[in-house]
Structures are given as C-alpha cells and as structure tokens.
Amino acid sequence: MVRSLPYLSRVMDKLPQELINRIVYFAERYPDQEQRAFAIGQSFEPDGSPSQFPRLAILNRTWKEAVETITFHRLGIKSDELESLQSIVTGNRRSYLSWISFEAELPTYSEEAYEHKESRLDQHANNEAFTKAISELFKVLRTWEDNGVKNGVRLTIVGATSPTDAREVDEFEIEHGLSRDIQSARWAESYMRLVEPDNLPTLSNLQHLTIERTGVRSLAPSVAPDLAVAMPELRTVDWEFPDYEAGSDAGSDQDSLDSDYDPEWEPATSPKARGEARAEFANKLSPTHFRSLRSANIVFVHCTPLDQRYTVPSIVPEGYTYDPFSSSIRTFSQYLTTLTLSAHVDPTLFWPSDENATPPSWPHLKSFDISFDMVAPSGKWYFTGPTPADDPHDDPVRGIVGSVDTREFSWHDFRQHPDPETFDPFLGALAKAVDCMPVLESFMLTSEMTGKAGKLHISYHAPGQKAEWGDEGPEDEQHRRIYYACETGVWVPEPKTSEGLKRAGMQKYGGEVIERYVGSQYY
C-alpha cells in the first residue's frame, strides 16, 4: 500500500476536485464498516478499531481538501473551546463547516451549594454566562462572514451546564433517595434565559436553528425567538422545550432542603411559571417578521394527567382571555410553507378570539401537522365520556375502577370522544382557517389519547397527495379527501364545521371532496 501511494497520488492529481470529493464519501473509515453505506454515515464505536480515514489526507493537497469537507462538515463545540475553533478552523475549512452543535459552560459552584436551590443571583449569573457564551460564538462567526465566508450553517444549541452539575452521588444519597431531591433543589426548577439578546451580532450564514431539550438545565422558550431575531436569513427551525407540571411533592422537596425557602419562588414547572414562559415566548415571537423562514417544527413537551377526573390548572397567563402562545403560533405560521407543532393549544391557534379582527391568511402554507393535548391551556378537557360508576373495589389513587372483567373504563381512560363544549369550537376554528389557505395540500390534526380510543386523527389530502391511511382505492387519490379516524357512530363534527373542512383546497383544486370515517385499523 505504501509503495503505491506516489503512483496513486499522481493519478489523482489529474482528477477534478469534485470527483475526488465524491470518492471520499465511499472511502473506508473503519475496518468493519458497512461497505454499501456512505463513509460519512458510519457511526464511531469508542472501543472499536481506529478510523482509517485520516491517512487519506496525506496523499496530496487535493485529497486533503476532500477529506476536510467531511471532517470539518460538523463540529461539536463547548464555549471554552472557541479559541481552538478559531485557530483550527481556518481557510477553506470555514466554508466546509455547515453544522455546529454548541454547548454553553456555566460557572462551577461549591459542594455545599448542592443542597440549596439556586438563588436569583445565582440564576442571573448563569444567564449572563450563557449569554456571554452565545455572544462569543456569534462574534467568531460574524468575523468569518466579514472575511467573505458564505455558507448556510445549521446551529444546534444543546444546552448549558456547569462542570459541577455532574457531581458523583455517594451511596448514602442513593440509599436515602436524596440524589434527585438535591439536584432538583439546585437547578432543575429554573429556566435559562438570554440577557439583552438585542446586542447579539446578526448572522446571515445561520439558516437553520435547532434547540434541543437534552441538557439537565431547561432553556426558556424565549431563547428561541431571541436567537432567531439575530438570523435574518433563517430558513428552518426545530425547537423543543419542556412544558409539564411537576409532581405533587415538588414543593415539599424544596421546603425540606432549604431552610430559607421563599414561598414566592415559582419553580419552572408550576402552572404560573409555565404560563408566563409561554407568554414570554409569544411576546417575543409575534412581532418578528421572518422574511426567509419556510419550515418550523415546534414541540412543547406536555403530559396528560393519568387520572382523567383531574382538574388541570390553567396555564393561560393572568389578564388573558385566550392562550397567547397559540395566538402567536397562528401569526408566526402565516409566513410558512410547512408547520409541525405539538403542544397545549386553544382555538386561537387557527382563528383570532376577537370576532372583529382582520381574518388571518396563510398564502404559502402547503402542509401542517398539529398534535394537541387532551387538555386545553385553560385546563378544560377536549374529550369526555361516560364516567365509570362507583364500585366497592374502586381504588382511584391507583386508577383502578372495579374489576377488569366487568368494567370497561377506568379513571385513566374514560374520556373517549370529543367534548362538544370544548372540541367543537376548536375544530370550528380550523374549519374557518382552511378557507384562508389557498395552496394547502395536506394537514393532520392528532390527539394522543389513552385507552381503546388510541388516537384521534383528522386529515386532509389534495388530489395527487397519497394518504397514509383512509384511501380505499387508487381512484381516491384523484380527489380532495377529509378523513376522520375516531369513534365511528359516536362523534361527528357539527354540520357547519364539516362543510368548512370540506372547503380545504377548494380554491386551488375544486372538484369533488370525499368525506370518510375510518376505523382504528388505519393507524
């Protein structure tokens, strides 16, 4: 092999750079890699054989450039590595870089601090450190732009952590169940935010923004629009944030671990804090015009109560008669071609609460996929059903209602079909909205239910759009179609709502529309 390198090098000198770049994609990276897969798609195993790939870079300059299109394609960076980033990623390597995964490092803290929740001063210091880390990264990338680097970059924010967050838990803490409580008391109940985000440099090269819910510390939802404002050429976003209630014992954990517990301190998982965080996100998102944004995937991770008798606290902020989060997504989506959303939402996601407001318009929206929780932001349930009768063997604490042999439902799953008082207005708002979506090709409305009902699906498909379920023959694909996968014979939409939904795609496609109720075997 070594003897053939000079000859191989001379031959390769005559090949165009683009062809060598393509060859490198199929070159061996690891001895046992799958031969038919791209080299760039091979996964690295820490205990496996070393990669054979870097040696190709020593053939000549042409091969070195080809190899670096892969090795510098995606980089994972921590904020304390920015100096190395600048010194290593130079020349053409900056143009090859198209994906940055970034983690902000926060200040360390003492061992004694583990047993106390972070004070407001601690939280502010962490927010400042988080902001400084983001700002320093943006300054580096702005310098590259000013020096002529022009490439579309995907930025993934993977979180913010302190080195001392990963403290090893001793056996006593594990034995007495203290490890979770200590961590929760320290940092798990607060949001990370950006301080004065308007001071961030603008970056035209950043065209894709992903925010992952992977770190131990939760980022405030407002971080997403704060960062997006500094990216005028943003094309796609993929954002995920937590939005669920803490366990009922969360407050007692704080009390027992912190003698100076402040009753006014609101953990991030409380209904009040969640509502405020959603409103803060909405207030940042609504006034912003994203001129280049086309696609958005937004997930606010939520949990439906196990006991469906549960009266759910409202997360609509004080002073609002509607959910500002839902309303802001409606305004935001009017610039998009595709939207994927999973969250607690209300009818203002589709139509303004003010009847005198200017009707919304979605001139470019081709598809949307909405997954909504069984519970509205107001705390009201979208679904209902026959309440299980009392039984001497009931154990509501464990969610057991009578014998499984004689009883059909439990308190976990008795809400089996849409509630006319709440779901009909929600679906009615969608029925009005689709008439304002002139190029709509498909939509999916889904609620993850429990028990026998499984899921509720309502979908639309334009002519030529293949349906995953519901088509009974190839001829169906020639028509506009509205499919309902729910409790056949138990629930149907209001006539006015049904007529509105059947107008989906009418402006562009016209013709006959198929309305069909299908069983659960389709999903």
- CA 217 vs. chain centroid, Å, equals 16
Query: CA-to-CA distance for 411 and 391, rounded, in angstroms?
Result: 12
Query: CA-to-CA distance for 327 and 282, rounded, in angstroms?
Result: 8
User: Over pLDDT 70: what percentage of the chain?
Assistant: 75
User: In this predicted model, what pLDDT tens digit does every residue of 19-59 receive, in sequence order?
Assistant: 776 777 666 666 666 655 555 545 555 666 666 666 766 66
Query: CA-to-CA distance for 335 and 337, rounded, in angstroms?
Result: 7
Position 173 pLDDT exceeds 90: no
Tell me the domain boundaries of the chain: 5-69, 73-301
Query: CA-to-CA distance for 208 and 203, rounded, in angstroms?
Result: 11
How many C-beta neighbours within 10 Å does residue 359 have? 10
Query: CA-to-CA distance for 437 and 501, rounded, in angstroms?
Result: 11
pLDDT at 215: 66
**Mean pLDDT, rounded, of the chain:** 82
Position 123 pLDDT exceeds 60: yes
Kindly compute the dihedral angle of the four CA atoms of residues 12, 14, 15, 20, in this order, to the nearest 10 degrees. Answer: 30
What end-to-end distance do the CA atoms of the chain give, in Å?
A: 55
Pairing relationship of beta strands 99-105 and 153-161 according to DSSP bridges: parallel
User: In this predicted model, what pLDDT tens digit does every residue of 53-80 receive, in sequence order?
Assistant: 667 666 677 777 777 877 788 899 999 9
Rounded CA Rg of the chain: 27
Mean pLDDT of 402-414: 59
What the block records as the tokens of 243 is: 């939005």
pLDDT at 17: 73
More confident residue, 375 or 49: 375
pLDDT at 451: 64
pTM of the model: 0.84
More confident residue, 189 or 250: 189
User: In this predicted model, what pLDDT tens digit does every residue of 311-339 receive, in sequence order?
Assistant: 899 999 999 999 999 999 999 999 999 99
DSSP code per residue over 331-386 = HHHTT-SEEEEEE---GGGTS-SSTTSPPP--TT--EEEEEE-SB-TTS-BSEE-P
